Amino acid sequence: MTQINFAAEPRHDWTLPQVEALFDLPFMELVFDAASVHRAAGFDPSEVQLSQLLSVKTGGCAENCGYCSQSAHFKTGLKAEKLMDADVVIAKAREARDGGAQRFCMGAAWRELKDRDLPRLAAMIGGVKALGLETCATLGMLTPDQARQLKDAGLDYYNHNLDTGPEYYGDVVTTRTYQDRLDTLAHVRDAGMSTCCGGIVGMGETRRDRASLLRQLANLPSHPDSLPINGLVPVSGTPLGDKVLKAGQIDSIEFVRTVAVARIVCPKSMVRLSAGRDDMSRELQALCFLAGANSIFVGGKLLTTPLPGQDEDSALFQDLDLRPMGVAKAVAPESVAAA
């Protein structure tokens, strides 16, 4: 059995059998271990970071990612749109901040960033940063120079997911190689930006594929600062969406196992519940938080897929005694009186 050292610094030498052994732990033991790692890494289990993601350029993407409604290869009924103006994006970011978001993410459905779009993106990033928000963007593949320019514009995080393990990757997308993704992450790190990198589960992959994805993330030169775990939202008209609509979505307990293993192998990453949360029960979300998830997307929409609304999230946080990250814990009146 894999031995876990809760006090150890993040390691980068995980083997696939070791990660698979974590998945195979008895469920209660695995969740307990993940919760212990979460605390040992310095996280407050009652704090959750709130992020909001806006699609600043929707549809018409040249990639053939088999899960994506925005791919030009599939007929999903989604209308392609042009890149938004910076002032519109900044106004949306202001609304997000006023609604409680702490990080604002901007996503564009591109295979790669074009230099001609950099000035408008720099204006967006600078304007969002000026609002006091953390900034994040996902714009496809980058060159080293583009990564440096985004950093200079004030971008804090760059999202570029691996999607799945390398063995299953060819069943997900063929227009971009796994090495392409790793190269972009290297450019982001070299530019001094934080990385946001995770994957999607429930695409028909095996547990071994999920373990392989987490091994890849844990063995990167530096762990992702933000690690999103997406549950596939099956979209009719996409190959993987149609496959899952027939076969059924990932088992909830297996999803929690994935979150728990992610927390253990990347102990200091922000493990983010991303796509698919709208289909999760309150109890499933509670288990994910217990297993080490400490970040969610809010705002009712994640690019083109639904998320819970503000009222639902507020009720969930109240019932689970959670609070947004960085917000001081409320002091009960009797505690004040006793003091």
| Eight-class DSSP state of 277 | G
Specify the fold of 16-320: TIM Barrel (3.20.20)
Q: How many CB atoms lie within 10 A of CB 111?
A: 16
Chain segment 318-332, per-residue pLDDT in tens? 999 999 887 666 544
Average pLDDT of the segment spanning 300-328: 79
E strands, 143-300, in order: 157-159, 194-196, 199-201, 226-231, 270-273, 295-297
Contact between 109 and 64 under an 8 Å Cβ cutoff? The reply is no
Per-domain boundaries in the chain: 16-320
Q: What is the mean pLDDT of the chain?
A: 88
- List the beta bridge partners of residue 158: 137, 195
Secondary structure of residue 230 in the 3-state scheme: strand
- Burial of residue 220 (number of CB atoms within 10 Å: 0-12, 13-18, 19+): middle
Among 43, 35, 46, 42, which Cα is nearest to 321's? Answer: 46
Least confident of 9-13, 200-204, 309-313: 309-313
Both structure tokens of 59: 């549809």
pLDDT of residue 248: 76
**Of 85, 95, 177, nearest to 131 (Cα)?**
95
Q: Which residue has the higher pLDDT, 330 or 183?
A: 183
* Backbone dihedral angles phi then psi of residue 230, each to the nearest 5 degrees: -100, 135
pLDDT in tens, 107-121: 988 889 999 999 999
**Which H or E run includes 270?**
strand 270-273
- What percent of the chain is modeled with pLDDT above 90? 64
> What's the confidence (pLDDT) of residue 80?
81
Catalytic positions are 61, 65, 68, 105, 136, 196, 272
Query: 157, 135 in Cβ contact below 8 A?
Result: yes
